[in-house]
Amino acid sequence: MTVAAHPQQVAGTPAAPPQTTGRRVRDALLRDRAAVLSTAYLALIVLMAIGAPLISAITGHGPNEFDTAAVNTDLGGVPHGALGGISAEHLLGVEPQNGRDILARIAYGARVSLLIAAAATALTTLLGVVLGMLAGFYQGWVDQVICRVMDFLMAFPALIFMIAILSSLPQGNRSVLLVVVISVFGWPYLARVVRGQTLTLVNREFVEAARASGASTEQLVFKEILPNLRSSLIVMTTLAVPGYVGTEAGLSFLGVGVAPPTPSWGQMISSSVGWYAVDPMYFAIPGTFLFLTVLSLTVLGDRLRAAFDAGEAS
């Protein structure tokens, strides 16, 4: 008499459990060469920013330390050697006239740019999520007030008003002022998206079911609505960071951002304007770091959005 095989033996090995959205997004990013390269470059920049004091200690040159021996005073302060004074002692060359080490200033400049961009993104996200959800959840007069404030701020040409405001404020702590000013003009764009998605979610069946079961407002917001905004928030904040890095560099370039002697990529590019002809590396090096950082953040944000869309569709 034959014995019937176990159903698992007939059907083969049991199917693997379905992947979570997070794992599908991670796998999609790992298969994307552009996303991997962007992440690797950004990791390098973050390590440079964190290890800026260590870089200065190893090279023996601080970001504000003058090295007059590295420049030719007879030629107006042009760096000795080719390519802006690049050598074993100064791996990325030196600044004209004063001989400050560019590698040290790039590392400390990365710290300033990333801290300002990260802080502005965090504050913008907090304001955008809170006010956007309030408008979408309560609607009525709350929605009207918040929408009018958003319309008011979005009607301003942001960059011009940032320049005007920062020019009129005392020097003080410019990094904090930059974060506040950037966030004031940045949060309405995120809040508008959050409001629209909240309006859609608040009338969905699972929210109505939770409300009918006696869930409090806090439970509806933090357990039902906010988790469904997670993927959109991750993508939007990732795409906001390169914009804030560029904004900080632009304001510093125009002289209303980070004040000397604090290093800033935009400030370095501004200082290099008069040296294009005799020392193009002074412009090319910080310009390249800024370009690649903004490009990598933009590419990573775009790939992250595509991965989330594919993960939620599957």
Q: Report pLDDT digits (tens) over 273-286.
A: 888 888 889 999 99
The mean pLDDT value for 294-314 works out to 82
Q: What is the 3-state secondary structure (H, E, C) of 129-145?
A: HHHHHHHHHHCHHHHHH
b vs e for 212-248, b when ≥16 Cβ sit within 10 Å of the residue's Cβ?
A: eeeeeeeebbeebbbeebebebbbbbbbbbbbbbbbb
**Residues forming a β-bridge with 72:** 78
pLDDT band at 3 (very low <50, low <70, confident <90, very high): very low
Q: What share of the chain in percent tops pLDDT 70?
A: 92
Alpha helices in the chain (DSSP H): 7-11, 21-31, 33-50, 52-59, 102-138, 140-154, 158-168, 174-201, 205-212, 217-219, 230-253, 265-271, 280-313
Both tokens of residue 140?
Answer: 């009525």
Grouping H, G, I as helix, E, B as strand and the rest as coil, residue 95 is coil
The pLDDT of residue 8 is 47
Report DSSP state, residue 25.
H
Query: What does the pLDDT look like over 249-273, one tens digit per residue?
Result: 999 998 888 888 888 999 999 988 8
> Contact 71/99 with Cβ under 8 angstroms?
yes
What tens digit of pLDDT does each residue of 220-254 get?
Answer: 888 888 888 888 888 888 889 999 999 999 999 98
| Contact between 255 and 54 (Cβ < 8 Å) | no
Residue range 171-180, pLDDT digits in tens? 777 888 899 9
First CA to last CA across the chain, in angstroms? 46
CB 270 within 8 A of CB 253: yes
Whether pLDDT at 312 is above 90: no
Q: Which pLDDT score, from 0 to 100, does residue 22 have? A: 74
Please give the pLDDT value at position 206.
86
Percentage of the chain exceeding pLDDT 90? 42
What CA–CA distance (Å, rounded) separates 83 from 78? 11
Q: pLDDT digit string (tens) for 65-94?
A: 888 888 888 777 888 887 888 888 888 989
Average pLDDT over residues 35-52: 94
Query: Which of these CATH numbers, 3.30.1330.10, 1.10.3720.10, 1.10.10.10, 3.40.50.12140, describes 33-62+90-313?
Result: 1.10.3720.10
pLDDT in tens, 91-107: 898 999 888 999 999 99
Average pLDDT of the residues in 36-64: 93
Cα–Cα distance between 124 and 228 in angstroms, integer? 19
